[in-house]
Structure 1
């Protein structure tokens, strides 16, 4: 019996796909263990790539950390983009905004990603702007309708509720969140 040798074609290298695999693995590790836990070895193991790939595609572990946090911030921004659809009408109908925020709070990955961004932003001034991006944008959007003081109070409350959800492994109930946001919307204007 004649066996025809099977010719295998070497796998084409796709540097961008490999970089993406490393980045996704790093973002998963950040969500699970925090940004400070990243190591080249842990990222390579999670991505299923050779250890040298992490240094081939990223100059340092700090570069991997920053890129992973950027990826997570982009994911969180998607939630804000959905909220933006309702912000201009928040005085007439608060429910869609609360629903979107509660949807965000029901996603453990989103909560852990946001907390990782917050904690990294408090310890790494270089990444502070990235950590503040969501809150600053929410304040900017809400300020159009509610004024800066109320918008800041609501955004600060949202940050606290996010940390609460992470610590308690479940969010506050929708009605508690809605009542608090309504109270913050009704607070008096600060003196000029």
Structure 2
């Protein structure tokens, strides 16, 4: 008796490969990302990684795009939370504190930033978050304040990368309250 044929799921296999590449990027600096390591992590044949991603650069880009997509989900969460009645600087501070306290999210963003520093084609992935975040904030503060808050968040995320503890909620709330009052036109 023969074993039943397994149903092919090319898109599922592709997602598994990309997720494995994301995991490996989060564990290292990306320099040691190989088709072989991704295939082993994804538990797929080596040929599958090269079937879906002809080059390692293609695979790395797909993994980084997956990280950027997670950031997009974060923007939706921020937009919805700030649109809720009674929200304000404290709401934003709480959301940002949750973000910088999430070590995996910080590692993911660091992987994205580091890759974009090495490859100008990836700048779009980092800018997408920044542009989206400032657009969300412009519904609540001046354009200059939105830029100041976005730049501050980038700094707070870097701070979290190199310190044992991220900035505390009270410090974030105080900085956000001050930066939210920045006035002026387009930044």
Q: Deviations over 1:50-76 (max 9, x none)?
A: 211110111211111111111111112
The worse-fitting range, judged by mean Cα deviation, of 180-189 and 149-158 is: 180-189
SS of alignment partner, residue 151 of structure 1: helix
The answer on whether the counterparts of 2:143 and 2:186 sit within 8 Å (CA) in structure 1 is no
SS of alignment partner, residue 187 of structure 1: coil
2:138 matched residue in structure 1: 143
TM-score (norm 2): 0.89
1:43 matched residue in structure 2: 38
1:88: Cα distance to partner? 5.3
SS of alignment partner, residue 139 of structure 2: helix
TM-score (norm 1): 0.87
Question: How many corresponding residue pairs?
Answer: 187
2:88 matched residue in structure 1: 93
**How far apart are the structure 2 equivalents of 1:31 and 1:93?**
32
1:3 matched residue in structure 2: none
Summarize the alignment of residues 11-90 of structure 1 with structure 2, pairs less than 5 Å apart: 11-87=6-82
**How far apart are the structure 2 equivalents of 1:36 and 1:97?**
35
Give the CA RMSD over aligned residues: 2.3
**How far apart are the structure 2 equivalents of 1:154 and 1:91?**
20
Bigger Rg over Cα:
1
The answer on whether the counterparts of 1:23 and 1:67 sit within 8 Å (CA) in structure 2 is yes
**How far apart are the structure 2 equivalents of 1:59 and 1:154?**
40
The worse-fitting range, judged by mean Cα deviation, of 166-175 and 65-74 is: 166-175
**How far apart are the structure 1 equivalents of 2:44 and 2:165?**
34
**How far apart are the structure 1 equivalents of 2:27 and 2:82?**
31
SS of alignment partner, residue 36 of structure 1: coil
2:152 matched residue in structure 1: 157
Structure 1 unaligned regions, length at least 5: 1-5
